[in-house]
Amino acid sequence: MLFDTVPVQSARGAILAHGVHAGAKLLRKGRVLSEEDVTLMVQSGIAQVTVARLGDDDMPEDEAAARIAARLGGDNIRIAAAFTGRANLYARVDGVFVVDAARVNAVNAIDESVTLATLAPYTPVKAGQMLATVKIIPFAAPSSAIARAEGALAVSPLQVAAYRPREAALISTSLPGMKPSLLDKNRTAIETRLKSVGSSLTFERRVAHEIAPLANALSRAKDAGCDPVLVFGASAITDRRDVIPAAIEAAGGTIEHFGMPVDPGNLFLIGKLGGTTVIGLPGCARSPKLNGFDFALWRLAAGLPVGRAEIAAMGVGGLLIEIPTRPQPRDEPLNEAPRAPRIAAVVLAAGMSSRMGSNKLMAELNGKPLVRHAVEAALGSAAQPVIAVTGNEEAKIKAALSGLDVSFISNPDFAKGLSTSLKAGIAAVPAICDGAVVLLGDMPGVSAVLIDKLIASFDPGEGRAICVATRNGKHGNPVLWARRFFEEIASIEGDVGAKALIGTYGELVREVEAGNDAPLIDIDTPEALAAYRAR
């Protein structure tokens, strides 16, 4: 890649190396400079600018990131669109993240421009949580390095092992004088943990802390089809010949491993009774705080092996106990794990079509109504849910969208202008959503890929709270709005959208180049429709 400071007039087509304020507009680093950008800089009195140009072997950052990310996907992993040289990967399901560290290290050793960062191995994850990110550090990477990375990723090193619903048993032993409330606490703690991994407690017994009654209860739990069988002892297991391991053997089972290099959680025991896993629980499993039992439960619930070798390998990262340099960490609330933004799609489909002569959204294009193109693009993207705002000829619009997973919001004030439909749609966005991408129903060229690029660029924490689809620097649609703007959108009046807010909050705007004219083309007249059909 070649960096140079050049006269502004010769910078067209180059990559802007540093952000530049041209009049009231901020041109951000990484932007491919258009003729309009050059003109704006000249008009602003800027004489020189530092730019980068790709060499013969260079691959643009988004293409490079997307190609590497494509090798990392799987049934339970979603790949977001690449943006600013970054492609994030997210879990599609709740489960356990499994990573081949050697393969990841091999990718990171190929070239300094190519980086792959992941969560730690065996991290429990929720659907939508970020698992990994591919980042191309400069504006491009050597094509040869990307090819080598793809070769190193012939098999993806990433996996999410989904939780599999299990029916578990709990057996608690007691000694004379033990309070029933302690055994109730056992059940509550275990039920909470099982629920977190998609499983349930279907069998419970409370017996004396003696070998014979415990062995009998273990056999009954096994015969009931429960797996795993969890045993809370009235006293901690201290030896392989203690009551709980002895009862497992008395029932016909075997002890696989006693002890665990995780603290708290050292006094952990795992055995087998036929094909059923039996676990002797450490006392810390009564606490809601993270402990060694959680390490084992996550893997069991995800169908991953938990044997002697796996337990022995838990020591690295297994120090969970509070220490002076990290006071009471398990008493502090955990920050929410990075996750994919929750973005709704609002398709405006309520207008009067006054320049068309009839409802343009019902016009046929490639065998289906115009409005269906926009809604199907939204449904094919990462946006969820998809909301269609109806008004004019509502019944026809709903019929045109039959069979699609879309929610309908009726706007009785549609005749008062575009703002009424925009407000109705934004008001219907679920509270859980971080923002909404607004589409016009008469823009058939907008694709799911473009919508995903907008979502990938969205990061309010980094100052990207309004994401606008553009073509060569010209703003168009769709536009993705962070929830923080919903209240101001609700105050807009007349036959206008929310474009005025883009000027007001220019520092929070991120332009997303579409690569084609789709953001600028809407169908308002019969002539426009005919021209589009002829393309």
pLDDT at residue 482 tops 50: yes
CB 362 within 8 Å of CB 349: no
Structure tokens at 71: 């090798």
* Rounded CA separation 498/491 (Å): 10
pLDDT tens, 259-286?
Answer: 999 999 999 999 999 999 999 999 999 8
Which alpha helices (DSSP H) does 285-440 contain, by range? Answer: 292-301, 308-312, 370-379, 394-400, 418-427
Q: Which residues, at least 6 apart from 364, have a Cβ–Cβ distance to it below 8 Å?
A: 370
pLDDT tens, 79-122?
Answer: 999 998 999 999 999 999 999 999 999 999 999 999 999 999 99
Give the predicted TM-score (pTM) of the model.
0.81
pLDDT of residue 355: 66
pLDDT band at residue 330 under the 50/70/90 scheme? very low
pLDDT of residue 321: 67
Burial grade of 200 (CB within 10 A; 0-12, 13-18, 19 or more): exposed
* Helix (H) or strand (E) segment spanning residue 510: strand 509-513
Q: Which residues, at least 6 apart from 297, have a Cβ–Cβ distance to it below 8 Å?
A: 193, 194, 197
Give all domains of the chain, ordered by start, each with its CATH number. Answer: 2-53 (3.90.105.10), 58-162 (3.90.1170.30), 167-331 (3.40.980.10), 343-533 (3.90.550.10)
pLDDT band at residue 354 under the 50/70/90 scheme? low
pLDDT of residue 251: 97
Q: Which residues, at least 6 apart from 287, have a Cβ–Cβ distance to it below 8 Å?
A: 189, 264
pLDDT band at residue 535 under the 50/70/90 scheme? confident
pLDDT of residue 405: 96
Q: What is the mean pLDDT of residues 120-140?
A: 95
pLDDT at residue 336 tops 70: no
Which amino acid, 341? P
Q: Which residues, at least 6 apart from 273, have a Cβ–Cβ distance to it below 8 Å?
A: 218, 219, 222, 229, 248, 251, 252, 253
pLDDT tens, 155-175?
Answer: 999 999 999 999 999 999 999
Whole-Å CA distances, 472 to 445, 469, 518: 16, 10, 12
Q: Which residues, at least 6 apart from 478, have a Cβ–Cβ distance to it below 8 Å?
A: 437, 438, 439, 440, 443, 446, 450, 451, 454, 469, 519
pLDDT of residue 331: 39
Which amino acid, 370? L
CB 362 within 8 Å of CB 532: no
pLDDT of residue 20: 92
pLDDT of residue 327: 40
Instruction: Give the number of residues written for the chain.
Output: 535
pLDDT band at residue 323 under the 50/70/90 scheme? very low
Q: What is the mean pLDDT of residues 342-350?
A: 95
pLDDT tens, 3-41?
Answer: 899 999 999 999 999 989 998 888 888 889 999 999 999
Which long-range contacts does 314-320 make (Cβ < 8 Å, 24+ apart)?
314/260, 314/261, 314/262, 315/261, 315/262, 317/120, 318/260, 318/261, 318/262, 318/263, 318/265, 318/292, 319/262, 319/263, 320/262, 320/263, 320/264, 320/265, 320/289, 320/290, 320/291, 320/292
Which of the residue ranges 35-39, 323-327, 335-339 would you say has the lowest mean pLDDT? 323-327
pLDDT tens, 411-438?
Answer: 999 988 889 999 999 999 999 999 999 9
pLDDT tens, 521-532?
Answer: 988 888 888 888
* Rounded CA separation 485/508 (Å): 11
Look at residue 482 and give its three-state secondary structure. Answer: strand
pLDDT at residue 334 tops 50: no
Whole-Å CA distances, 327 to 320, 323, 330, 331, 334: 11, 6, 9, 9, 14
* Rounded CA separation 443/475 (Å): 14
pLDDT tens, 223-245?
Answer: 999 999 999 999 889 899 999 99
Q: Which residues, at least 6 apart from 491, have a Cβ–Cβ distance to it below 8 Å?
A: none
